[in-house]
Structure 1
Amino acid sequence: MNDEQDSNRWRQLDKDLKRIGRLELSGQAISRPLIAPGAALVFILLACGAAALALTPSGSSWALVLAAGVGAYMALNIGANDVANNVGPAVGAKVLTMGGALLIAAVFESLGAVLAGGDVVETIAGGIVAPEGFATSDGFVRVMICAMIAAALWVNLSTWLGAPVSTTHAVVGGVLGAGMAGGGLDAVNWPAVGTIAAGWVASPVMGGVAAAGLLAFLQARIARAPDPLAAGRRWAPVLVAAMAGVFTTYLAMKALSHLIPVAPWQALGMGLAAGLAAWAAAHPLVAWASAEMENRPRSLKALFRLPLAIAAALLSFAHGANDVANVVGPLAAIARATQDGAAGALVVAPGWVMAIGAVGISLGLLLFGPRLVRMVGDEITKLSPPRAWCVAMSAAATVILASWMGLPVSSTHVAVGGVFGVGFLREWQEARRAREARRARDRALDHAPEERSRRMLVRRSHFLTIVAAWVVTAPATAALSALILAVWSRLL
């Protein structure tokens, strides 16, 4: 009898333990999706606390604390959406794992923002709105806060939809809409708006053409050469040198220029010196890396793995130095206006403001970035190390060329345009081979129309979604910021 009671007791205990185990698993499944939003909320509250500690006795506490929270929210969204363009191709090419890419991007984004973000930040999206167009500093502060809220909400929505958009254009649209609603048409610098709008069209086209041209060059000079291995050994050091030169010039113009004045010819000289040094160092490394390779084009993909990883890190550094201004600029202007009542086009960013931008971008990438990283790297078109390298190189080279031309471009549009360019070039090559097969009556290489449609190398659904998001970003954020300002003015 005692044995039977003990057996029943153990069976009941097993049932209770299984029930508890199921409850624990259910609790974990419910709480896991809340970890990232919870961490983001903690960061926003810490940013508000930093703003409260930075207040002076004469400062307007509510406006600065609110602006700090909105700025932190904006930084998180920039990290979740914009940074995917820097590391997505490397992840799609299987050069970096998702975890490794997120870690590299977070570290170099923070380094770029802190070391080269600059103490003097040009605000109001490059002079879109003139501060003197507002009667009081309170009106200017309201416009900046509404613009940041609208831009952050739009970027958040775009990230949720899986569309990489330009956070710079979102900020520009937000400032433009709230500026017109709060200060009238005269408060807007329309020539600057027209110049920036021209860059919206030029960015993806320039990036796509450059990436497609680089890929065609690699195919002609290496992949289709009579001796691919010998061609790879000859051209790989040249390509490494070109990458070093282009990225050195890019970093000098986009990052170093925040610390010291850098003329275009000086940046070009730095790039030339770095390219020559890289060319001299690459020869023995390429010879060593290719010693055991088979003489076929597929084997040469390994030569692009390390350059592509380095390119992802350098792009992240430059992005952190440049795009942190989307958060720091408006927030620094609000800090100055609320503390001493002055609203100027150039302001000095306090350390705590720079920290919000740097930490927020990296944290947003780590918490919410994987979805857009996969989108850019895997879901638009298939990327190999050489193709992804072409995207990274085209992004840097296009930004440099546009800067010299005085044309403001979006790094997001350039990078994603490069991915499209690589995919559409391969589609065009596939279609050309099919036409040649039909003319030669080679049924082995020809395909039925349904099969040709299935073989399209760029996913049209993603292409249309991304282009539509690009087109409506500025108008949507402008309308949203104007609406938020109108509601705010009516309620308060």
Structure 2
Amino acid sequence: MTLIILCLVAAHFFAFNVGASGSAATMGIVYGARVIKKKRIALLLSGVGGLLGALWGGEVVDTIGKGLISSDKLTIQAAAIILFVSAITLCFTNIIGIPLSTSEVTIGAIVGVGISLQQLYLRNLLEIIAFWVIIPVAAFFITFISGMLLKRLKDKFPAFLPSNKLTKLLSILLIITGLLEAFAAGMNNVANAIGPLVGADVLNKNIGLLTGGIFIALGSLLLGGKVLETNGKKISYLSLSDGIVISGTSGLLVLGASIFGIPLPMTQVTTSAIVGVGATKDWKGIWKNKVIHQIAKVWISSPMISLVIAFCLTEIFLQSNFYTVVIITSGILATLILTNFGKGTFEKRQKTQRSLEEEF
């Protein structure tokens, strides 16, 4: 009973953080463009959108809860490991300042548990991974093409640019697309928090969607201020039309994936959409951005980190197999030591070469 209570607390705390980091960010363009000037109103709209979306997130919950591991293998203990690993990985990456996809971390943890238990629906997993590549790429090309078309329209009809009526219309459309993005975020991300418990038959799906949605909304409203402020400042250079294209594209793509039960890394989808718009203005410069390189690393590293940790914990607590964990840990430590040694040797060679060049 104690374990069930702890899992319920962890799941809803996870949902609270999802709301703070994910749903709040969906209104960043609206806030940054000063369409909505009051932070509290932007957070409230984000929370409402996330809550309403969560109520329709049943398909993604089924994928997280039953689409990768069968119900008889997904026990309360296994669900606890998945939630624990997801929460710890999220906390760690927040501390070191790396943006994280909760979907990738949760799927990684589920796969780690599944590998240890030797029970994993590989076909479903490969489909999800394929969508993790296809959807962000699609977001880039859609926004890139849309950005080019908008650029041509602005060049062809410059008289419409200063129109107050057009500005008001674009502002309304931007708020609508922001709400759509928040709705899609809630619909897709609520499963990361409650999916494992639903799969373990600890939590009723409909109740979980409601309570998870409420905590997503609370997280957005109470803890999303800094995220909103950061996102608003970073993307404030975007025009109203750029914001509509980005939010509309991200929201529709994630919404479509959610209908088919595909958990997606929404951060990567939105970022790819922003890069697509940015590429229309500076094609060469956008690829030199360090943020792009960082996100690419996170795409690969975040699910792998949670996979390894979940696998090791399952081997220890559910399989009582310490030898495999020792071997994996030794391999990781050896790799890190050799990598640092190689890096140090390379740096010493560079210093020696520079010294020789200075002498001659």
Q: Which amino acid aligns with 1:469?
A: V
Distance 1:156 1:63 in 2: 21
Q: Find the counterpart in structure 1 of residue 3 from structure 2.
A: 63
The alignment partner of 1:131 has SS state of: coil
Equivalent in 133, 139, 152 of residue 201 of structure 1:
133
Cα contact 1:125–1:175 (8 A) shared by 2: no
Cα contact 1:87–1:101 (8 A) shared by 2: yes
Q: How does 1:24-423 map to 2 (within 5 A)?
A: 61-97=1-37, 98-114=39-55, 116-118=56-58, 121-122=61-62, 124-125=64-65, 127-132=67-72, 134=73, 140-181=75-116, 183-184=117-118, 187-221=119-153, 223-229=154-160, 289-290=164-165, 300-334=166-200, 336=201, 348-349=204-205, 351=207, 353-379=208-234, 382-399=237-254, 409-423=264-278
Cα contact 2:28–2:228 (8 A) shared by 1: yes
CA distance 1:407–1:124, change in 2 (3 Å): closer
Task: Provide, for residues 132-169 of structure 1, a one-character-per-residue CA deviation record: whole Å limited to 9, x for no partner.
Answer: 4x3xxxx7221111111111222233344444432222
Shift of 1:317: 2.5
CA distance 1:131–1:332, change in 2 (3 Å): closer
Cα contact 1:169–1:473 (8 A) shared by 2: yes
Distance 1:354 1:406 in 2: 14
Distance 2:209 2:254 in 1: 24
Distance 1:363 1:403 in 2: 22
The alignment partner of 2:106 has SS state of: helix
CA distance 1:95–1:357, change in 2 (3 Å): same
Shift of 1:311: 1.4
The alignment partner of 2:75 has SS state of: helix
CA distance 1:459–1:84, change in 2 (3 Å): farther
Task: Provide, for residues 311-350 of structure 1, a one-character-per-residue CA deviation record: whole Å limited to 9, x for no partner.
Answer: 112222233233222222222233x25xxxxxxxxx8425
The alignment partner of 1:72 has SS state of: helix
CA distance 1:204–1:318, change in 2 (3 Å): closer
CA distance 1:199–1:170, change in 2 (3 Å): same
CA distance 1:119–1:194, change in 2 (3 Å): closer
Distance 1:126 1:322 in 2: 16
Shift of 1:309: 0.9
Cα contact 1:121–1:325 (8 A) shared by 2: yes
CA distance 1:405–1:73, change in 2 (3 Å): closer
Cα RMSD, aligned residues only: 3.2
Cα contact 1:162–1:375 (8 A) shared by 2: no
Tell me the TM-score normalised to structure 1 length. Answer: 0.58
CA distance 1:377–1:458, change in 2 (3 Å): farther
The alignment partner of 2:156 has SS state of: coil
Distance 2:248 2:60 in 1: 29
Q: Runs of 5+ in structure 1 lacking a partner?
A: 1-60, 234-288, 291-299, 338-346, 432-455
Task: Provide, for residues 80-122 of structure 1, a one-character-per-residue CA deviation record: whole Å limited to 9, x for no partner.
Answer: 22224421222232223332221111122223334x3459951
> How many residue pairs end up in the alignment?
319
Equivalent in 295, 300, 303 of residue 474 of structure 1:
303
Distance 1:191 1:376 in 2: 36
Shift of 1:391: 0.2
Distance 1:423 1:120 in 2: 31
Tell me the TM-score normalised to structure 2 length. Answer: 0.77
CA distance 1:178–1:407, change in 2 (3 Å): closer
Distance 2:132 2:88 in 1: 20
Q: Which amino acid aligns with 1:416?
A: T
Distance 1:368 1:331 in 2: 24
The alignment partner of 1:95 has SS state of: coil
Shift of 1:365: 2.1
Does residue 425 of structure 1 match 2:280?
A: yes
Q: Runs of 5+ in structure 2 lacking a partner?
A: 322-360
Q: Which amino acid aligns with 1:210?
A: I
Distance 1:462 1:392 in 2: 19
Does residue 461 of structure 1 match 2:290?
A: yes
Cα contact 1:81–1:155 (8 A) shared by 2: no
Distance 2:206 2:300 in 1: 34
Distance 1:331 1:407 in 2: 18
Q: Which has the higher contact order (CA 8 A, sep 6+)?
A: 2
Larger Rg: 1
CA distance 1:473–1:126, change in 2 (3 Å): farther
Shift of 1:227: 4.6
Shift of 1:207: 1.0
Cα contact 1:127–1:189 (8 A) shared by 2: yes
CA distance 1:140–1:426, change in 2 (3 Å): same
